[in-house]
Structure 1
Amino acid sequence: MRISDSIYPYPVLSVDDEDYIQDSEFDIEFTSVAATPFKNAVVKCRFILHDHNLERLISLGKAGLYLRVENSLTAYRKLYELEPGKYTFELEIDPKYMRKKVEVTGLLLAKQNITDFISDTINTDLYGKDYVFPDLNTGDPLAVAFTTNVVVNDEDSFKSVSSIMKVAKSKKEYMVVDPDGEIIYVYLPETLYEQYIRYQSVPDIALSIVILPALIQVLSYMVLNRGNDIDEQKWYMVIEKKIGSLDKDINDLFNEKISPLELAQMILENPVERSFNEIKGIVGIED
């Protein structure tokens, strides 16, 4: 459901609406953060509220800020509540539920029944000087931001390796790659897995150490098992699509025109170089 210029039986603060005086404002600013090999894309949301009466309702715990997210393609709908006192929220774009276009709406909702609410910032020309809000129930809107469309790039892009490749721990002594499923599992010994998680702050280094060799093995597996119906698995189709986006053909791999090592580096966008740049940054900080 798209909210852009809804009409309510009482004043609701919104953009380009005359229910409140011009100094009152409710809106959201969005900033997108692209996906990385380890994390999904994120939309950073900053709520803007300028109205002392509504702000007081929040401080009293009677109202709260919410973000409603809908995706018609997957029939996904969820209402996220911001932490009390917070005006920012990071929405992770989960490709399982958010595809192509996601509708995002900022809301200020009543968190409890509210009676006899009076505001000196409503438009008195429309509601008069002695206007008292009708009894408000939990969930009733007090402010509504325009619905914004967030365009989601190809959810199966290798920008987010996490869409087809998961790293997990195992009791084995060495790293093992298991492609027998819709996604690829990379199993690390427990101690290495703990370090992998600990060093997520240097993703490119971890990418070269773990994901790059795993992908090389997967590409070799694709060559060895060509024609064995693995092309119906999700991870195979994602890799094939990514190869096409590089102006390459999967047959180049099969015909040995390009090696698994070279192709893996192309798919992951030169992770070795990025790793050395990351190391350089760490050394620079320590120096």
Structure 2
Amino acid sequence: MTATSAPYPIGTPGVPWGDAERALWLSRQVRHRSYIEDVVRRVERLGERFDVAEYGQLSYPPDQYRLYAVRSRDWRDDLPVVLVTGGVHGYETSGVHGALQFLEERAADYAGRINLLVAPCVSPWAYERIHRWNANAIDPNRSFRENSPAEESAALMRLIAPLRGRFLVHVDLHETTDTDETEFRPALAARDGKTSEPDIIPDGFYLVDDTENPQPEFQRAIIEAVSKVTHIAPADEKGQIIGSDVVSPGVIHYAMRKLGLCAGITGARYTTTTEVYPDSPRATPEQCNAAQVTAACAAIDFALR
């Protein structure tokens, strides 16, 4: 879809937000769903087969959130480590539910072959409010850097720090939605005192590879597997997807570490960010979740060949 330009309802065009604008924005955020019921209850049930650990807490008064990671019970120091992350952007639903579904249905297939670490919902406040940012109007997926301003990002970096150098694969599960154009990009422009130019949301699944560590065969293997589950996003008339050149069907490049993206935190040989399009008339929520599961499995399968 293509969005139309309109002034964002908070702030003065061209002027970055101050405390008053951020407070007004926060006052308008509404809880739509439950992290406890949707995520924590499923994680607790996974404790029957995996080790479940709390790796941090978030405090956004009056709300408190415990952050959970799930890891292989048969952890072995001689095995490579695979990280799967979901819900870095809380509104990207299939990232969270795809990570949980992967744990419930497929993770056991890799027992004894990898050490698996999964953080299924990195941003629970945003998950509940179906939002991109945290309660401080900060995007966690631009904040994976030293002295991060986002506690969600800092907590995940602390979790993986002891394992750096051992990661083989990191799959970060995301979505690109129509609300990226109708809400989140206009809000970003308003927050930063910039203008928002309408763009086209790609209809279909695509991947983001790392400019500094491109792995084209790895990305192609994931695209091939996911294409059997849901459709792959085509390039636009400029040969791009969301402003980046398409380097192979359904694949673009971002500079992961420079941009502070989650997929850049591990130093893994194989990294990717998935992008599912849940608003497509050609995709159901079940397909979106399945695409995330398929991507994670295809990534691990390729790396283990």
Higher relative contact order (CA 8 A, sep 6+): 2
Q: TM-score, normalised by structure 2?
A: 0.21
- More strand by percentage: 1
